[in-house]
Amino acid sequence: MNIMIVTDMEGVAGIVDFPNWCTPGGVYYDKGKRLSTEEVNAAIRGFMDAGAENIYILDGHGPSSLDIELLDPRAYYIRGSIAASVKFMTDWKIDVFAHVGQHAKSRTEYSQLTHTQGTSYFDETINGISIGIPPIFGSGEEAFCKEALELAPNMETVSVKKGLTPGTGDECTASEYAARNTTAIHVNPIKAREMIYAGAKKAATRYLDDPSQFTLPFSELEPPFVKVVKFRKDQQREDWVKTANTIEEIYSKRLIY
């Protein structure tokens, strides 16, 4: 079994805000990368102990969420364009996806550091479905776990923190929204890694026992695929629409950084 782990940073236990923890130059950015890397390592251990053969880590946080020197050496690290990564997934026969450190999508109540792509995005859909996350396993904040299970109800999820801010924040500008959803209850990072290890191991074991129990959220959609992005009120741009015949085309021009 070959696994692609897509990482982010905002859903990691102990990550408190954007400017200090998630941004280069932030007081705690290096510590944030270490916390993120250790959660990824916990997932790698769980997957490997369950029988995974190859694990590829796609660093999905804008300025990077991982310290490659601390990363479990059994995993491969990927950084670059999503288009190239999608081709890689096909060529190298990636069987399943997992997510570590993930946050919920924009406008989600009781979530922490929530956004879609960036805080300037109001919503993003494909064929009318508001985009969340695929696969067999995901860890991050509680709101993300609920969101993921709505799209892929059989996947394993691990919640390592819970946001406490009510409301959708629709009235906010991008900068106001970035500062809005910072309050949360966090699991201790060491405990979080234990939980992630157990969840990843269980997910991989279930998949190896019966792959058919996991379904992809977009498997029943038919082309053409229409992607719509709506921006917040302070962004001087028109809503963006793209039509494609494959999901890969939808992301062909987007870079991770």
CATH of the domain at 203: 3.40.50.10780
Helix, strand, coil percentages for the chain (3-state, nearest 5): 30, 25, 45
Q: Does 256 map to a domain?
A: no
Assigned domain for 30 exists: yes
Per-residue pLDDT band at 34 (split at 50, 70, 90): very high
Q: Are 239 and 177 in contact (CB under 8 A)?
A: no
Residue 157: which domain range?
A: 2-250
- 178-206 pLDDT, tens per residue? 777 788 999 999 999 999 999 999 999 99
pTM of the shown model = 0.75
Question: Given strand 240-244, what is the order of strands in its sheet?
Answer: 129-130, 121-126, 225-231, 240-244
Task: Decide if 236 is inside a domain.
Answer: yes
In a domain, 80, yes or no: yes
DSSP string, 193-209: HHHHHHHHHHHHHHHHH
Domain annotation covers residue 255: no
Q: What angle do CA 158, 162, 165 make, to 5 degrees?
A: 150
Does residue 257 lie in a domain region? no
Tell me the average pLDDT of the chain.
78
Count of domains observed in the chain: 1
Residue 170 lies in a domain: yes
Residue 175 lies in a domain: yes
Give the 3-state DSSP-derived string for 141-175, with helices as H, strands as E and coil as C: EHHHHHHHHHHCCCCEEEEEEEECCCCCCCCCCHH
